[in-house]
Structure 1
Amino acid sequence: MEVEVVHGHQCELGEGPVWDSKNNVICWVDILNGEIHEYSPSKKNHKIYPVKKMVGCIAVCSDNNFILASTSGIGFLDRETGKIEYVDNPESHLPGNRFNDGKCDPAGRLWVGSMSLSEDANSGAVYAFSNNENDLKIKNTTISNGMAWSLDHQTFYFIDTPTQTVVAYDFDKADGNIKNKRVVIRIEEKEGFPDGMTIDSEGMLWIAHWGGWQVTRWNPKTGEKLLSIKFPAAKITSCTFGGKDLKDLFVTSAKVDLTDKELQEQPLAGALFVVKDCGYQGAPGFLYNI
């Protein structure tokens, strides 16, 4: 599979790619530089929305704007004006934490995880946000990362990176409740740390590997690894499907904390990559329900 660079911009900590199917643009964040990026593959147009605070994730709303989670909490960004209105902060009492990965569920709630800036164990949590209220879903996480929902919307998949696992929960779409946690995938340390995640049209999970130079495809029913795609950067952070018919795989990466020697060895670190027409098709993502 041929890996291409989508755009020349390189992030310090690129994360959270989201395909906006209405506008046909790929969106992602640079967490540490506090920026939201938007790029149109057809128009070759790159836009940056400055958040000016560490921004862990974004999602597209049903009104076409962004919902985001930054160190100031959860808010909405007007894509025409760039203005941000914060409406909630479930961890305002934890200044040593920041938000990390997040995604919308099939009912249009934003699920978002937090973590300690110093990566202290068990200092984070996962919340579901809707109607300007948050609901604590998972306690004592360390580096909350990849999220996905099964095609029948009855299972929630989740990655807490240091555990080297993907866990599954029974998911109730009506109320967002989760239960019956179990491990469905185990990843060896030599493969790198599991980071962001997405799901394809066959119900298989795609996982980005921090420090692993790769994105992998797994069967969550059997725990079997099905495929590995190598990338020219070690710190691969997340992935999503986009483009026409959701057949292009977009992949974010990071260059944070790389030495000069490492940067010379991987000059594309921090870039947004794409594998066009990768042979698989994504499952459509979910909008935040306004």
Structure 2
Amino acid sequence: MDEPKISIFHDVACELGEGPGYDPLTKNVWWFDIVSGRLFEKPLAGGKAEIHTLGQMASALAIIDEKRQLIATETGLFIRDRQTGHTTMHQPIEAENPATRSNDGRVHPAGAFWIGTMGKKCEMGAGSIYWYRQGELRRLFSDISITNSISFSPDGRIAYFADTGKNIIWRVDTDPETGLPITEPALFYQHKEKGGVDGSVVDGEGNLWNACWGRSSVDVYSPAGKRIRSIAMPVRQPSCPAFVGVETANLIVTTAYHEMSERVHRSDPDAGKTFLVELAGKGRLDPPVRI
């Protein structure tokens, strides 16, 4: 298998880059810097990036339609008007708890938005995973330290999520019509090497692509939980991958310099920049969320 070409897609470094995705309506790539509360949008074909200041920590985005986006923030889900940038609270999530914020999130094939929360200081067990669809919110799982790796099989029958604090990725069967769990979580993969399991995305063949924080890699796991590929990244802390483009053959990977010492940051000068990984494969895009 040929090694992919890796290049810097955007050179403005994020302290904590997260939540990348691709919008087929605009052909833009999006991602966040959680710490600074900024949303980045940039044409996949290249050009100037638009940087939107959201006024609070934010980490994940779901497309609603041509005019609106749904953004997961530290206080809940906000509808953002694409043209004006105005945001309106749609669904509070842990808004009464200033110690937590949103982290990972992705849309199930049924149009349900799964959103993870975590403590702002990575407090043990402070996080939960929520399901939102058509005005209804449910808490699915709790007692998670760092929610990550929320992703779904192409047929919507399997969901994945991780607790980076435990370095475990779980899988759980889901109803393809609603995106709700129908079984208890089972162990998918336990990472016992250097680094921590971070954000993930599932491709068109059901393989899970996981960014390994601290290990400088994006690792690929078969549906059986076996590592089948590892892509070396030129930074220490890749945080989340997402497939991009009409053919979904390439990956965008966010990275971070969060909690790096000055010495380590000097040795990792591209930390926090956003990367394009050119592959020969077939990925998947998240569907619009059903609000």
Give the TM interval when normalised to the shorter protein.
over 0.9
User: Where has structure 1 moved over 6 Å in runs of 4 or more?
Assistant: none
1:189 aligns with 2:193: yes
Residue matched to 2:273: 271
Q: Is the 8 A contact 1:164 1:189 kept in 2?
A: no
Once residues 120 and 277 of structure 2 are traced to their aligned partners in structure 1, the CA distance between those partners, rounded to angstroms, is: 32
Q: 1:64: Cα distance to partner?
A: 4.2
Q: 2-side partners of 1:64 and 1:195: how far apart?
A: 31
Alignment of 1:221-240 (within 5 A): 221=224, 223-240=225-242
Which of the residues 210, 225, 243 maps onto 1:207? Answer: 210
Q: Which amino acid aligns with 2:105?
A: G
Q: Cα offset for 1:43?
A: 4.5
How far residue 131 of structure 1 moved from its aligned partner, in angstroms, is 2.9
Which letter does structure 1 place at the counterpart of 2:9?
V
Residue identity opposite 1:117 in structure 2: K
CA deviations 1:129-159 (Å, max 9, x no partner) are: 1233311111111111111111221111111
Residue correspondence of structure 1 range 104-119 to structure 2 within 5 A: 104-119=107-122
Which residue of 1 is the match for residue 288 of structure 2? 287
- Count of residues in correspondence between the two structures: 287
Per-residue deviation, 1:63: 3.8
Equivalent position SS for 1:163: coil
Contact (CA 8 Å) 2:155, 2:176: kept in 1 or not? no
TM-score normalised over the length of structure 2: 0.94
Cα distance in 2 for partners of 1:265, 1:159 equals 29
The within-5 A match list for 1:133-282 is: 133-178=136-181, 179-190=183-194, 192-221=195-224, 223-276=225-278, 278-282=279-283
Provide the C-alpha distance between the structure 2 equivalents of 1:68 and 1:77, rounded to a whole number of angstroms. 7
1: CA distance, partners of 2:87 / 2:52: 10
Aligned-pair distance for 1:177? 2.4
Partner secondary structure for residue 262 of structure 1: helix
Residue type matched to 1:261 in 2? R
Letter in 1 for 2:148: N
Contact 1:62 1:289 in 2 (8 A): no
- Distance in 2 between the 1:92 and 1:275 partners? 36
Task: Read off the aligned partner of 1:284 and give its amino acid letter.
Answer: L
Show the 5 A alignment for 1:58-77. 58-77=61-80
In the alignment, the residues of structure 1 paired with residue 75 and residue 164 of structure 2 have an alpha-carbon distance, to the nearest angstrom, of 24
Taking a change above 3 Å as real, the CA distance of residues 33 and 44 of structure 1, as seen in their structure-2 partners, is same
Letter in 2 for 1:104: V
State the TM-score, normalized to the length of structure 1: 0.95
Structure 1: runs of 5 or more not aligned: none
In 1, Cα distance between the equivalents of 2:88 and 2:9? 30
